[in-house]
Structure 1
């Protein structure tokens, strides 16, 4: 993936759940939003993330996940993004 003035694609996709959950600073939200506005591949990926989040919200209602679970999920998602990017790199 490419780099943009608004931030690196891998970094943005790693933080998309923080962005969706409003769990990052306003400055970071601005950087992520700017990147998504300018990067079609990340925007498509973000659209998928939004749909997954909406589905989970419909199924689970207003239940709050324990913070330990959230951290484990974020770590696993970060690993998957890195694995996905590594697999796509030539050579």
Structure 2
């Protein structure tokens, strides 16, 4: 019996759960070569997982684009000052 189930339903979620967990690591290039190959092969054969992968990739791209802006220096200085004040209160408390 093939591990690749193409129909929607409980069998798909059981067979695909492991791959769906690994998609985030796959996107971040945090899998070894064997795992990358296995995930890629699964995505090539499983439309629902490929859709979820595309969605995760899109979200990651949008977040990365949004995070590329640097905070203004005055804001950074205020945040760092507040962090230091909290650290002092913690160490004194």
The match for 2:46 among 39, 46, 65 is 39
Shift of 1:61: 2.6
Partner residue, 1:66: none
- Normalized against structure 1, the TM-score is what? 0.59
1:24-53 CA distances to partner (integer Å, 9 max, x unpaired)?
101000000000000001011111001011
Matches within 5 A, 1:15-34: 15-34=22-41
How many Å apart are 1:3 and its aligned residue? Answer: 3.0
Aligned residues: 60
- Structure 2, unaligned runs of 5 or more: 6-14, 70-93
- 5+ residue gaps in structure 1? 63-91
Larger proportion of strand:
1
Distance 1:10 1:61 in 2: 32
In 1: Cα distance, 2:22 partner to 2:63 partner: 18
Higher relative contact order (CA 8 A, sep 6+): 1
Instruction: Indicate the structure (1 or 2) with the bigger Cα radius of gyration.
Output: 2
